[in-house]
Amino acid sequence: MIQATEAQTIIRTDLNELEPLERWHRGRVVLLGDAAHAMTPNLGQGACQAIEDAVTLGQCLQAVEGVDAALDLYEKKRVERVGQVVADSRRFGEVAHNEVSPPCLLSGEPFQDLFRGLYMEPLERIVRQV
């Protein structure tokens, strides 16, 4: 497929991670999704975390008196969890996309252990915490 694809039809877009923001809201403006925490797609979590942001934001606005306090609570509830997912996703990518990984890492038990630690365990933790 790669050989059959004309080079000029390929669009290359680098993947970037957003540096942690100091704040997610100012006044009545609040960020969620990639605007707040763009991450590498290695765990398939960017949109999932955006949906969690939206649900949490709705809950906070409903539960707390005053927009500013509600947005503070939303940010507080989300920053740590999302930061963990961003870091887990980065870690998995560093190994999975490392062009110099020794071939022994890619097969057999060492890889399965690595895969479990870098991929399955973070995903299980994410699901447990929902």
| Cα–Cα separations (whole angstroms), residue 122 to 18, 126, 127 | 20, 6, 9
Q: How many residues bind ligand FAD (CB under 6 A)?
A: 10
Angle between helices 67-96 and 46-63 (to 10 degrees): 160
For position 113 contacting ligand FAD by CB under 6 A, the verdict is no
Q: Contact, 70 vs 64, CB < 8 A?
A: yes
For position 20 contacting ligand FAD by CB under 6 A, the verdict is no
Q: Which stretch binds ligand FAD (CB under 6 A): 3-11, 33-41, 66-74, 122-130?
A: 33-41
Q: What is the CA radius of gyration of the chain?
A: 18
- Residue position matching structure tokens 């989300």: 78
Q: Which stretch binds ligand FAD (CB under 6 A): 37-45, 60-68, 78-86, 116-124?
A: 37-45
Residues 105, 123, 91: CA angle, nearest 5 degrees: 45
For position 21 contacting ligand FAD by CB under 6 A, the verdict is no
Q: How far is the CB of 103 from ligand FAD (least distance, A)?
A: 26
For position 46 contacting ligand FAD by CB under 6 A, the verdict is yes
Among 45, 57, 82, 126, binds ligand FAD (CB under 6 A): 45
Q: Contact, 75 vs 23, CB < 8 A?
A: yes
- The residue ranges that bind ligand FAD (CB under 6 A) are 33-35, 41, 44-48, 50
